[in-house]
């Protein structure tokens, strides 16, 4: 086999996940939010609807007291009164620091250990992603220290970009591999969204309360050869589109009682109107795929899809707009059902689900994620095997 060069696509491999141990039952959590003091009659109806149609059965959280057991000094939830509490932003961020660091390190360790022929000493770059907390020295520093990476390892952190941020992280990793074909780039995303959930009458916050969970995801991007039988996703092309409308419909800001999510009901419609234009540039050099997209037959030409399940209605709209079938978006619905929306880590978990349960070698895969802006990130990949 010839040595990889700048024109050889990098491969995303050894996709791994780390989930907090506390499991939230969607029905039970919905009942808690509906019981909060001060919630209006309309708010109760919105809670019932949002939780009931979310497509989620379980989520994970780092807030152990949400298991419903009585605690002597509860910070987020008083099980004796079934009332949610309201810690300040500093308290929530301190909790993020305590919980996120170990998840970043564990996800990174699993990714390195799962990549055949790669050891910690081989890692040349670390890219971390998160929008649910801050600290410095940051998670990329912790990973380098705890995994005892080489002293000169290059470290980058993409912070506060929102649910699409893993996609530019993967693009950056591929670009680093193009610049140095021997590079081994560790990409790790950890989001602890539940630290910012709280009782509210605001419809946007109610929707956020019904969707978000906690998780970590990691993978290795490199041009080094895959191990025998090892699967990965060849990173062929990626694109970014900012829609001409929707800047105020999806946002993430810092408030006094945690971070505030804006996720309006207009988002699925905006995505539906612009999704075809968002992925069209992926096919600029592939006339067959471009023709399939314009003819409404892209689902027959691209077998696998990793659609960020920002909510059930978003997956529904992408499926409808692109003419996909239920099997093609099943990995997105699987992740939404079992884990919920875990912000930037979600799309990597959907890619992992594709590789482990759905995709065949040689399948083309399109990954799509959405975030503030309103930003649509997309990538065309190919399933490969060593």
Spell out the SS3 assignment of 287-325.
HHHHHHHHCCCHHHHCCEEEECCCCHHHHHHHHHHHCCC
Find how far residue 120's CA is from the centre of its chain: 24
Active site residue 163: yes
Cβ–Cβ < 8 Å for 169, 189: yes
Hunting for tokens 């591999």 — which residue is that? 177
**Cis link prior to 137 (omega < 30° from 0)?**
yes
Strand pairing class (258-263; 250-255): antiparallel
Q: Where are the beta strands (DSSP E) in 131-204?
A: 154-159, 184-192
Q: Which one of the listed residues 131, 163, 177, 193 is annotated catalytic? A: 163
Give the three-state DSSP class for 333: helix
Q: Which of 228, 129, 260, 103 is nearest to 185 (CA)?
A: 129
> CA-CA distance, 272 to 279, in Å (whole number)?
12
Give 210-252 as a DSSP string: HHB-EEEEEEEEESSPPPTT-EEEEEEEEEEEE-SS-TTTEEE
Q: Give the torsion sign (CA, 113, 115, 120, 121).
A: positive
Cβ–Cβ < 8 Å for 385, 230: yes
Cβ–Cβ < 8 Å for 111, 14: yes
Give the three-state DSSP class for 140: helix
Cβ–Cβ < 8 Å for 215, 154: no
> CA-CA distance, 103 to 181, in Å (whole number)?
29
> CA-CA distance, 331 to 358, in Å (whole number)?
8
Q: Which of 244, 243, 283, 274 is nearest to 379 (CA)?
A: 283
As annotated, the active-site residues are 163
């Amino acid at each position: 086999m010839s040595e990889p060069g700048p024109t050889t696509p990098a491969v995303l491999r050894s996709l791994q996940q780390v989930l907090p141990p506390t499991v939230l039952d969607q029905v039970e959590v919905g009942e808690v939010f509906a019981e909060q003091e001060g919630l209006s009659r309309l708010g109760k109806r919105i809670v019932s609807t949002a939780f009931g149609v979310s497509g989620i059965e379980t989520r994970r959280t780092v807030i152990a007291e949400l298991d419903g057991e009585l605690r002597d000094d509860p910070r987020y939830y008083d099980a004796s009164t079934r009332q949610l509490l309201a810690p300040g932003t500093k308290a929530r961020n301190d909790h993020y620091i305590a919980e996120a660091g170990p998840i970043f390190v564990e996800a990174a360790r699993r990714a390195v250990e799962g990549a055949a022929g790669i050891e910690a000493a081989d890692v040349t770059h670390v890219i971390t992603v998160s929008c649910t907390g801050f600290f410095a020295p940051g998670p990329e520093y912790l990973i380098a220290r705890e995994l005892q990476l080489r002293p000169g390892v290059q470290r980058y952190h993409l912070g506060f970009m929102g649910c699409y941020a893993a996609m530019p992280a993967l693009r950056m990793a591929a670009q680093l591999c193009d610049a140095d074909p021997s590079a081994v780039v560790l990409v790790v995303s950890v989001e602890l969204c539940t630290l910012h959930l709280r009782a509210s009458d605001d419809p946007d916050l109610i929707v956020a309360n019904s969707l978000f969970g906690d998780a970590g995801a990691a993978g290795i991007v490199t041009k080094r050869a895959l191990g025998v039988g090892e699967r990965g996703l060849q990173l062929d092309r990626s694109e970014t589109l900012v829609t001409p409308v929707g800047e105020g419909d999806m946002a993430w800001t810092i408030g006094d009682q945690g971070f505030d999510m804006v996720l309006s009901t207009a988002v699925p419609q905006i995505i539906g109107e612009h999704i075809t234009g968002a992925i069209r540039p992926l096919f600029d050099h592939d006339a067959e795929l471009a023709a399939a997209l314009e003819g409404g037959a892209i689902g027959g030409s691209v077998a696998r899809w990793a659609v960020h399940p920002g909510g059930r209605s978003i997956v529904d709209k992408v499926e409808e707009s692109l003419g996909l079938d239920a099997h093609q978006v099943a990995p997105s619905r699987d992740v939404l059902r079992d884990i919920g929306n875990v912000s930037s880590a979600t799309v990597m978990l959907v890619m992992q689900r594709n590789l482990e349960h759905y995709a065949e070698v040689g399948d083309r895969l399109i990954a799509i994620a959405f975030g503030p802006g309103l930003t649509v990130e997309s990538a065309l990949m190919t399933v490969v095997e060593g």
